[in-house]
């Protein structure tokens, strides 16, 4: 069972406390102070560092699958904003 993240972290958290916020840390969801505390822990804790590298790898192989975005619909939608400004919302609904 995963422990609930307890924030803010103490200055010297144990491995369980770091494990509970590791996902948020890797996703860039921690504030700078907590992120710094996690980074410092990973510097000297081999076990947590290996766990962090593994989770990070899982995230990166998933993110590599991000679909490419066709630029055409985005350009059309940008044009739609121009129309919205020109015509007003009433004529475009």
Measured between alpha carbons, how far is 18 from 38 in angstroms, rounded to an integer?
A: 6
44 binds another protein (CB under 8 A): no
Cis peptide before 18 (omega within 30 of 0): no
Give which of 15, 43, 38, 16 is closest to 28, Cα–Cα: 38
Which region among 6-14, 21-29, 32-40 touches another protein (by CB under 8 A)?
21-29
Among 12, 43, 46, 93, binds another protein (CB under 8 A): 93
The tokens describing 43, both together, are 């510097």
23 binds another protein (CB under 8 A): yes
Backbone dihedral angles phi then psi of residue 76, each to the nearest 5 degrees: -65, -40
Residue closer to another protein, measured from CB, 39 or 58: 58
Note the residues at the interface with another protein (CB under 8 A): 2, 4-5, 23-24, 27, 29, 50, 53-55, 57-59, 61-70, 73-74, 76-78, 80-82, 84-85, 89, 92-93
């Amino acid at each position: 069972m995963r422990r609930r993240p307890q924030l803010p972290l103490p200055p010297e958290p144990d491995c369980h406390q770091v494990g509970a916020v590791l996902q948020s840390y890797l996703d860039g969801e921690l504030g700078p102070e907590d992120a710094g505390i996690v980074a410092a822990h990973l510097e000297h804790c081999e076990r947590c560092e290996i766990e962090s590298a593994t989770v990070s790898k899982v995230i990166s192989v998933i993110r590599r699958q991000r679909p490419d975005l066709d630029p055409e619909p985005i350009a059309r939608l940008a044009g739609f904003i121009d129309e919205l400004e020109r015509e007003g919302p009433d004529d475009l609904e």
